[in-house]
Amino acid sequence: MKRHAKTGLLASLLMVLLLWAPAAPASVMVLVHGYLGDGQGFHRAGVVDALDAGGWHYGGNWRPAPDGRVRLVGDAGTGERTVYTVNLPATAPLALQADWLTAMRRAAEQRHPDEPITLVGHSAGGVVARLALVRGGQGAVEHLITIASPHLGTERALQALQATNSGGMFGPFRQILTRQALGSSNYEAIRQSQALLLDLAPPHRGNLLGWLNVQEHPEITYDAVVRNTGFRMGGDILIPAWSQDLNQVPALRGRASVIASPLGHSLDATDVRVILERIAARAG
């Protein structure tokens, strides 16, 4: 009898503690894809499933609508922690992508008033997310995590422009070889991305990264996941390590945490462990 009474007392005490304990702040995460990607890339890589296993409810995919607004596709409702993907016009200039992302962020804020937002950008998506913060304001965003992002550009963008350049004596021959190597669809995608590839060129006076990297950035938490697979100078096959490091951006020098990753450039489900660790570190 005494044992049952003691058990009942403990259960009552636990209920009181649960009622009076402060609720964990609800959070929102927005996953931003890179060049020629889309929101499905996070599903294919297993990132969304891994986040679900970590307690994050998938809320759907934000994308541009024909009327110039944004709409949520696959609306799965909201939870204590909700994660969204986005579909941006992946061959458009970075400023246009950033403006769409700002519209999507504002739509997410309407669904989640007073809740903090974490932006997670992969590859060029990390630059888009940073540009959106500078152009469109911080809003409810309190945390930016970039993964393998070319914050100081990449020579690969210039190589792609050169490979599809039809000018000069050898231009037509170069185009034929490039089309055969890449396939017609990839070749045409690169041809449609000329402005975007210029945006991803190493920063200099007069180009986008040269401007963005000296602009005032919001006072939020910045984390950079830097891939390092043993290539010369570090980094992955597309982006050198120093370009992925947010502390190399003049406006953010000394303000970011850098997390080394042994993976290649592509997304991986194991990125979720780093994402959740950084979110927990910020909350702590």
Question: pLDDT tens across 22-60, in order?
Answer: 334 569 999 999 999 999 999 999 999 999 999 999 999
| pLDDT for 49 | 98
Is it the case that residue 13 has pLDDT exceeding 70? no
pLDDT band for 169, please (50, 70, 90 cuts). Answer: very low
Question: How far is 35 from 253, CA to CA, in rounded Å?
Answer: 25
Global pTM reads 0.86
| Token pair listed for 191 | 């041809």
CB 47 within 8 A of CB 136: no
Question: Given pLDDT bands bounded at 50, 70 and 90, which one contains residue 176?
Answer: very low
The pLDDT tens digits for 118-151 are 999 999 999 999 999 999 999 999 999 999 999 9
Domain ranges in the chain are: 24-153+203-283, 155-199
Nearest to 146 by CA among 33, 251, 250: 33
Stretch 214-232: mean pLDDT, rounded?
Answer: 88
The DSSP symbol for 219 reads S
For residue 133, which of 86, 95, 107 has the smallest C-alpha distance? 95
Structure confidence at residue 228 (pLDDT): 85
Q: Is the CATH number 3.40.50.1820 carried by domain 24-153+203-283?
A: yes
Strand runs (DSSP E) across 33-185, as ranges?
A: 57-64, 70-73, 81-86, 117-122, 141-147
Residue-level pLDDT at 229? 65
Looking at residue 162, what is its pLDDT?
A: 82
Contact between residue 227 and residue 221 where contact means Cβ atoms under 8 Å apart: no
What is the mean pLDDT of the segment spanning 176-180?
48
Expressed in angstroms, the distance from the first to the final Cα of the chain is: 43
- DSSP H helices, the chain, are 2-20, 40-44, 47-53, 94-111, 124-136, 155-163, 171-182, 184-191, 194-199, 208-212, 241-244, 271-283
Question: Mean pLDDT score of the chain, rounded to an integer?
Answer: 86
For residue 165, name the pLDDT band (cuts at 50, 70, 90): low
- 29 burial level (CB within 10 Å; 0-12, 13-18, 19+): buried
Pairing of strands 57-64, 70-73: antiparallel
The rounded Cα 43 to chain-centroid distance in angstroms is 14
Q: Is the pLDDT of residue 8 over 90?
A: no
CB atoms within 10 A of CB 220: 17
Q: How confident is the model at residue 230 (pLDDT cuts 50, 70, 90)?
A: low
Determine the Cα–Cα distance for residues 138 and 147; give it in Å rounded to an integer.
20
Of all residues in the chain, the percent with pLDDT exceeding 90 is 74
pLDDT tens-digit series, residues 238-274: 999 999 999 999 999 999 999 999 999 999 999 999 9
pLDDT at 74: 97
